[in-house]
Each structure stands twice: as structure tokens, then as C-alpha cells.
């Protein structure tokens, strides 16, 4: 088959294949988590100022929920058909593990300098990214505390290559059932936690990889529906307004056991709307160069931000008591800038080089690289027998 001419449409489709708006949206999720930790650490000592931070980031913990949904969506959208499971896992580990390993070493060394006690088994579990499976206090939030989410992600990565071939054969109705059932199960798990010992309930609802995988599979099913051209949802403007309204209402009047499910739906609508806009070549506020860069460094930012804030506050004697007057808000801005600088360095000098070094060879990447989808190619043809026909991609045909 001859290559398509390099036209403006072809260039737009190449950009759409990368879904840059979803990269930009990663920064929004990272900022929500940052704000949540700023609030819970009480960095701002003045009650009136702290009240503003609490109001803005009451639901910031749900930024991790956004990450998990987004992860499921992006991995299915970009999955390389025919790729070996080992190669897929190698690519994912090359992305997350070098940063994790570096931060694991740094956090332990700083902890030794502070003479913090170290639980050897917890540290080893954290190193192997299995800590989220252990409900024992001091284990799942061990060493670099935020790395619990990487333990969940590793579980998702291990499962996806086995599940996706089955998922690709499911009818759209079954995929829609997953999308609808996931937020309902998230809500149902809150009363279900009464079956768990009280000391493990936070772990059960917030950390346990099996529970958190509901968000991941929600994104997976939505991506497969969009890949087949069967997704139906609002445009980006409507989805964004719906998200803002949901956030405002949930922060003020909705109980925690309900807002987790509501926000999962709101996040999914924004993600799918942004992806659809990219595929169709439409402009979005999330695909600008600054937003894409922020999204690219968001993983490193997430890994460093709690450690940096806790370490500085301990050194200055303000950990747990906050900073008085305007020093509190200024410290928050300072932490934001410092963490961004460190994240940029970590992304450039560790994450990217190690992805090239540890990832699959370039030839393997080229053979299995997914082709971009043009706006006209979104949505497969459906024959009279109801069977989905292959989608036409640039340069090849892939099964829908």
C-alpha cells in the first residue's frame, strides 16, 4: 500500500494520534493532588487563608482518580496490536521505574539523615512496588508515600495485555456496561467497607489495587468504545462545564461516598471529549506547548512534591504548624515552582534517557507503532448483520 501524501490533514492526524490534550490534562490532575497535600499539611497557618485552600482543594485527592481513568484510556488508545506482553510491560516499567528508584534512594537517605526509623520489609515492598497490597499501617504509605499509586499502576499494566484481547471481542453494549457499572461500584464499596476491619477501611477504599482498578477499567472501556467510533458524550465545553458544576456541588453538599462516583463520571467525560477534539483536529486549551510540557513533567512532579514539601518544612521547623501571615501562601507558590524545576530536571535527565535505554529497541517500536487516526476515519462501518468492520487507518487496516 502506498503512503498517503503529506497534507495538512495528514499532519493533523499525526498530532491527533498522540492526543496532546490528554497530556496537558495530566497537569490538572497533578495540580489537584498538590493542592490537596498543601491543604492537609496545613502549610498556611492563617485560618482565613487556609479556609480558601481547603475550599479550592477539598476534592484534590480525586486527582489520582483522574490519573487512573486517564491511564486506562491512553493505554488502550495507544496499545500496539501484536505487541508482546513482555514488550508492553518493559515500555511501562521504563517509564515509571527509574524515577521511582531514584526517589526511593533519595527519600531513604534523607530519612537516615533525619534519623527516621526504617521498616526494612516495608522499604523492600515499596522498592518492588507491591506496597499497596499490604493494609498494615506504615506499609502502603512507606518511603516515598505517593508511590502507592505506582503499585496500583503496575497491577494495571500486568492485567491489561491479558484483558485487552477479550475486551476487543466484546460488543459495545458490554463495554457500555463497564462504563456505567464502574462508578456505581465505586459508590457501593463505601457501605461495603463495613465488612473490612475499621483500621483497614481507608486502605480498602483509597489504596487497594483491586478497588482502584475500577477507575482504570472505566477508562479502558471508554477508549475501546471511542476507538470503534461508538462513544457518545458531550463536547469539551459542555463536559468541562459539567465537571466544574459537579466539583462545586460535590465539594459543598455531597458526601464523600458519593462524590467519588460522580467525579469519576465527570473526569471520564472531560477525557473523552478532549481526546475526540484532538482526533478531529480541533483546538483545545490543553494542547498548547506550555500545557503539554507541564503534562509531560507531571509524573515527576507527582513523585517529588510531597517529599520536597515535608523535607523543607521539617528543616525550617514549620512541619505541622504552617507558616504565619503571607509567608504561608508565598511558601505554597515557592513549593510549586521548586517542584516544577525539580520535575523538569528529573523528566529530562532521568525519565527520558532511561525510557530510551530501557525501553524496547527502536526497530520493535517502529514495527508495532500505532498509526494515527484521521478525523474522517473515526468510527467503523457497521454492516447489516451488526458486525463491526475494520477501521481504515493511515497506511494499514486494523480490526475495530
DSSP code per residue over 71-115: HHHHHHHT--TT--HHHHHHHHHHHHHHHHHHHHHHHHHHHHHTT
Query: 261: pLDDT confidence band, cut at 50, 70 and 90?
Result: confident
**Residues 201-255: tens digit of each pLDDT:** 889 989 999 999 999 999 999 999 999 999 998 999 999 999 988 888 887 777 7
What residues contact 225, with CB distance under 8 A and at least 6 apart?
Answer: 172, 175, 176, 179, 231
Query: Would you say residue 393 has pLDDT above 70?
Result: no
Q: Are 103 and 342 in contact (CB under 8 A)?
A: no
Phi, psi (rounded to 5 degrees) for 233: -160, 170
The burial class, CB within 10 Å (0-12 / 13-18 / 19+), for 274 is: buried
**Residues 16-25: tens digit of each pLDDT:** 357 999 999 9
Q: Is 396 helix (H, G, I), strand (E, B) or coil?
A: strand
**Residues 271-326: tens digit of each pLDDT:** 999 999 999 988 899 999 999 999 999 999 999 999 999 999 999 998 888 888 88
Strands (E), the chain: 391-393, 396-398
The predicted pLDDT at position 192 comes to 78
Query: Would you say residue 118 has pLDDT above 80?
Result: yes
The predicted pLDDT at position 383 comes to 37
* Least confident window among 253-262, 300-309, 328-337: 253-262
Q: How far is CA 371 from the centre of its chain?
A: 23
Rounded Cα distance between 299 and 303, Å, is: 6
**Residues 166-187: tens digit of each pLDDT:** 999 999 999 999 999 999 998 8
- Count Cβ neighbours within 10 Å for each residue of 181-201 and write b for 16 or more, e otherwise: ebbebbbebbeebeebeeebb
Element (H, E) at 29: helix 20-41
The predicted pLDDT at position 386 comes to 37
The burial class, CB within 10 Å (0-12 / 13-18 / 19+), for 117 is: exposed
Q: Are 347 and 30 in contact (CB under 8 A)?
A: no
> What's the mean per-residue pLDDT of the chain?
84
What residues contact 288, with CB distance under 8 A and at least 6 apart?
Answer: 24
The predicted pLDDT at position 257 comes to 67
pTM of the model: 0.85
DSSP per-residue letters across 292-325: HHHHHTHHHHHHHHHHHHHHHHHHHT-TTT-B-T
Q: Are 58 and 209 in contact (CB under 8 A)?
A: no
The burial class, CB within 10 Å (0-12 / 13-18 / 19+), for 106 is: middle
Q: What does DSSP assign to residue 170?
A: S
Amino acid at each position: 500500500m502506498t503512503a498517503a501524501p503529506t497534507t495538512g490533514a495528514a499532519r493533523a492526524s499525526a498530532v491527533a494520534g498522540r492526543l496532546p490534550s490528554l497530556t496537558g490534562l495530566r497537569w490538572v490532575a497533578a495540580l489537584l493532588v498538590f493542592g490537596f497535600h498543601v491543604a492537609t499539611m496545613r502549610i498556611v497557618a492563617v485560618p482565613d487563608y487556609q479556609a480558601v485552600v481547603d475550599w479550592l482543594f477539598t476534592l484534590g485527592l480525586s486527582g489520582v482518580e483522574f490519573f487512573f481513568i486517564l491511564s486506562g484510556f491512553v493505554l488502550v488508545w495507544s496499545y500496539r496490536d501484536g505487541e508482546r506482553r513482555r514488550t508492553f510491560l518493559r515500555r511501562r516499567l521504563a517509564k515509571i521505574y527509574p524515577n521511582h528508584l531514584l526517589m526511593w534512594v533519595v527519600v531513604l537517605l534523607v530519612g537516615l539523615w533525619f534519623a527516621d526509623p526504617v521498616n526494612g520489609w516495608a522499604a523492600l515492598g515499596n522498592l518492588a512496588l507491591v506496597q499497596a497490597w499490604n493494609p498494615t499501617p506504615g506499609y502502603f504509605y512507606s518511603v516515598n508515600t505517593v508511590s502507592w499509586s505506582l503499585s496500583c499502576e503496575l497491577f494495571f499494566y500486568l492485567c491489561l495485555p491479558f484483558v485487552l484481547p477479550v475486551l476487543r471481542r466484546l460488543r459495545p453494549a458490554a463495554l457500555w456496561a463497564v462504563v456505567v457499572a464502574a462508578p456505581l461500584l465505586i459508590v457501593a464499596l463505601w457501605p461495603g467497607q463495613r465488612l473490612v476491619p475499621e483500621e483497614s477501611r481507608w486502605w480498602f477504599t483509597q489504596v487497594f489495587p483491586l478497588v482502584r482498578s475500577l477507575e482504570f477499567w472505566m477508562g479502558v472501556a471508554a477508549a475501546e468504545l471511542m476507538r470503534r467510533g461508538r462513544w457518545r458524550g458531550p463536547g469539551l465545553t459542555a463536559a468541562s462545564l459539567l465537571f466544574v458544576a459537579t466539583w462545586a456541588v460535590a465539594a459543598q453538599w455531597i458526601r464523600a461516598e458519593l462524590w467519588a462516583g460522580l467525579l469519576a463520571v465527570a473526569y471520564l467525560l472531560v477525557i473523552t471529549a478532549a481526546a475526540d477534539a484532538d482526533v478531529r483536529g480541533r483546538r483545545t486549551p490543553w494542547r498548547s506547548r506550555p500545557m503539554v510540557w507541564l503534562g509531560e513533567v507531571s509524573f515527576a512532579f507527582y513523585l517529588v512534591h510531597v517529599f520536597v514539601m515535608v523535607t523543607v518544612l521539617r528543616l525550617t521547623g514549620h512541619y505541622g504548624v504552617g507558616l504565619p501571615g503571607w509567608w504561608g501562601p508565598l511558601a505554597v507558590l515557592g513549593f510549586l515552582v521548586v517542584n516544577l524545576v525539580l520535575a523538569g530536571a528529573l523528566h529530562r535527565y532521568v525519565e527520558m534517557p532511561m525510557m530510551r535505554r530501557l525501553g524496547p529497541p527502536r526497530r520493535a517500536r517502529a514495527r508495532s507503532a500505532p498509526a494515527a487516526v484521521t478525523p474522517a476515519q473515526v468510527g467503523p462501518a457497521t454492516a447489516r448483520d451488526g458486525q463491526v468492520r475494520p477501521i481504515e487507518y493511515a497506511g494499514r487496516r486494523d480490526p475495530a
